[in-house]
Amino acid sequence: MDKGMLIQELQTLIIQSLKLEDVMPADIDPAAPLFGSGLGLDSIDALELVVALEKKYGIRIPDEDVGKEAFASVDALAGYVLKNVT
């Protein structure tokens, strides 16, 4: 799986899973933080994304520490998916 294409897929997944209106995939900077000052997601959003990732890619995020690393940015999330996709 190509990382560039996966990043685009993840941007779309984030928008669809979280029902982000008026946000286009290109609006999400792959290097920007997903939480806090970046996209501004919260813990509820994180749970919804975990479920969406499990459904789509069959990956698990086993604990909060792994989640913090994986959800640092879309780019980090793409790297995690590529390493852990079944």
Backbone angles phi, psi at 41, to 5 degrees: -75, 160
Q: How confident is the prediction along the chain (86 residues), in pLDDT tens digits per residue?
A: 799 999 999 999 999 999 999 999 999 999 999 998 888 899 899 999 999 999 999 999 999 899 999 999 999 999 999 999 86
- CATH 3.90.1010.10 applies to domain 3-84: no
Helices (H) and strands (E) in the chain, counts: 4, 0
Using alpha carbons, select from 52, 8, 1 the residue that is nearest to residue 30: 8
Output the six-digit token pair for 61.
């995020």
The pLDDT score that the predictor gives to residue 37 is 82
The pLDDT score that the predictor gives to residue 86 is 61
